[in-house]
Amino acid sequence: MPIVSRLDTLRRVLIGSPLPTSAHHEERFTNAEALAILSSDALSSVAYATQEIVLVLGMAGSAALGLTVPITGLIIGLMLIVATSYRQTIKAYPLGGGSYRVSQDNLGKIPGLVAGASLSIDYVLTVAVSVAAGIAALTSYFPGLDPYRVPLCLVAVLLVMVTNLRGVSSSAKLLSFPTYLFLGVVMMMLVAGAVKFLGGTLPTIDAEQQTRLLAPTLEAEGGKLMAIGPVLLMRAFSSGCAALTGIEAISDSVAAFRPVEWRNARKVLTVMVLLLATMFGGISALAHHTGIVYAEHGPTLLYQLGEVIFGNGVLLAVLQLATLLILLLAANTAYADFPRLAAFLAQDGFLPRQLASLGDRLVFSNGIFALSGCAALLLVIFNASVTRLIPLYAVGVFISFTLSQAGMVVHWWKQQGRGWQGKAVVNGVGAAITALVGLVLLYSKFSYGAWLVLVAIPLLIALFLRIRNHYDYVARRLRMSGDKLLKLPAPPVDGGMPTVVLVGQLHRGSFEAVRFARSVASDLVAVHVDLGGDRTQAFIEQWERQVPDVRLVVLQSPYRSLVDPVVDFVKQFELEHRKDRNRFCMVVLPVFVTQHRWENLLHNQSTILLRQALREQGTRVVTTVGFYL
């Protein structure tokens, strides 16, 4: 079996048959599906947010653990402020785009790229942290699996990647159950814990036992207790702010909702924040009253709470299974948002254009591959440790929070519509508070790894600008008049071959291929593949104005494939024109020749696949015409 056919068969087995572009509108979330898919990152953070607060406070001994509830209360207050601000953003930007689009439209290119880079980093960390925390829930229940933590994480990333490549509808139906299972079992635990507390039967750990359990954590920090002061409190607060990650996901994906998009998105955001605040506050309260502590790589805090309240029975197993599943699903929030953000950046020329193309299942497949690769690399580097990854987490998201809210203040000031002052105040307060919290996060986490994010953001921005400069240069090199009649060489008087030339756009590069084909063709036809969108009619009109002497055939491709329609057309063309074995047909493919090899990554390499497919079907003459950039 040919290589292309084998790869196609494997792809269809793993992710299913291609979906037509016409089905794109049907690939939208219901509110129930959106709550499961887009809120899973935020909701699942309760599995480790309280845990990280307790871990930091434990460095000051058992006396500091009483501050868990006040710190949780501050974070919940911040959560409500951020959610109120994003409700306004959702209505103002019903097509989505989130912090990147809001910042770019209102604050300028560089602030937009800062937001885009920050969110990109945060989405990669979301996958890494969620998967690492999910596998930690598994190894808490099965301690013998702990040495295989990293391989298990990589397998989990692979499974989530394949699931998302199957498309929105398939993944939504498959992945909604874990969210609702987790919500149900955690709420059951909170209610059962409250009943035991009110009845005086909730087990507790005394200060002496807490001190003994905290010994491994203190030894890791040099054996000395930290002072209960501003530095400790800021560090505990910043670790707990991981509970806020994911709140922006709904505003980034408004277009993924069913109509009326913005109204449904606001409803889901409100429900998500109420559920998140309830679970986060409840878990912190139970942790405080039971006196449970946490040590890195030990049983998770949620597992210990479940063991105290449910006992070592079926409900504890269900809690751990639900935690594992929702943490893997939390990674799915990033898979819903990162590819969309990457597509926005690619459309604006700051990332490779391939990231803006829909795959077989109407998802941004290339963005899904990129996210998976980056997250897997982080998991290997940081040994799949939640505690080591958390300091990097949330810094980027608070930068994007701040820029988004500041951008909305400018948005309302520019529009000055009805009630704009009140809306601007809400977003202004949100911007000020998130900026302050961002500084606290940066200060408290800087030496623990946050500096890496500060280095990565400008490096990403430099990459964005370098890619944009390349595309601007290419556009200048390819630019030609859109109305002038183009001169072609005369066709050969005698001989020549029946020739097909592939034309995607009419520019200097493709025109060179048309000129060559005309000089050698006895019968020339130009082929253009309509991959969807609204540019085909404009292309046809431009062709008729500028190259009227060459017949143009437009091939429809409802499944967005360039290869299949061209291969089918060439096969039929050869049947019509090859009268005997001594008569050949030729296919001409225009290609770019870049100055540097890395620049090839910025251009669609579909010519390679097309050439391979044509040769596998028996086309003997396939030639490329290079345009040197």
576-610 in b/e burial notation, b at 16+ Cβ within 10 A?
A: ebeeeeeeebbbbbbbbebeeeebeebbeebbebb
pLDDT number for residue 492: 85
Confidence of residue 96 (pLDDT cuts 50, 70, 90): low
pLDDT number for residue 147: 87
The answer to whether residue 139 sits within a structural domain is yes
- CATH code, domain carrying 621: 3.40.50.620
- Which of these, 216, 532, 155, lies nearest to 357 by C-alpha position? 532
Summarize the confidence of residues 161-186 as an average pLDDT: 78
Residue 472's region, left for phi above 0, alpha for psi from -120 to 50, else beta, is: alpha
506 shares its domain with 444: no
The 10s digit of each residue's pLDDT in 573-619 is: 888 887 666 778 899 999 888 888 888 888 877 788 888 888 888 87
Summarize the confidence of residues 468-477 as an average pLDDT: 91
Tell whether the model's pLDDT for residue 223 goes beyond 90.
Answer: no
Share of the chain above pLDDT 70, in %: 91
The answer to whether residue 91 sits within a structural domain is yes
pLDDT number for residue 441: 80
User: In the sheet where 521-530 sits, what is the strand order?
Assistant: 551-556, 521-530, 497-502, 586-593, 621-628
394 shares its domain with 275: yes
Tell whether the model's pLDDT for residue 19 goes beyond 70.
Answer: no
437 shares its domain with 517: no
Whole-angstrom Cα distance, residue 624 to residue 509? 11
The answer to whether residue 480 sits within a structural domain is no
The answer to whether residue 540 sits within a structural domain is yes
The 10s digit of each residue's pLDDT in 505-514 is: 888 888 999 9
Share of the chain above pLDDT 90, in %: 27
CA end-to-end span of the chain: 37
228 shares its domain with 373: yes
505 shares its domain with 591: yes
265 shares its domain with 206: yes
CB-CB neighbours of 231 under 10 Å: 12
The answer to whether residue 110 sits within a structural domain is yes
Tell whether the model's pLDDT for residue 8 goes beyond 80.
Answer: no
Tell whether the model's pLDDT for residue 469 goes beyond 90.
Answer: yes
Between these two residues, 523 and 210, which has the higher pLDDT value? 523
460 shares its domain with 359: yes
The answer to whether residue 486 sits within a structural domain is no
199 shares its domain with 348: yes
pLDDT number for residue 20: 63
Tell whether the model's pLDDT for residue 124 goes beyond 70.
Answer: yes
Structural domains of the chain, count: 2
pLDDT number for residue 177: 85
Whole-angstrom Cα distance, residue 510 to residue 626? 9
342 shares its domain with 238: yes
Whole-angstrom Cα distance, residue 625 to residue 499? 13
Question: Could you list the residue range(s) of the whole structural domain that residue 572 is in?
Answer: 497-628
Least confident interval from 11-15, 391-395, 492-496, 594-598: 11-15
pLDDT number for residue 182: 93
**Mean pLDDT, rounded, of the chain:** 84
CB-CB neighbours of 472 under 10 Å: 11
Q: What letter represents residue 181's amino acid?
A: L
Tell whether the model's pLDDT for residue 362 goes beyond 70.
Answer: no
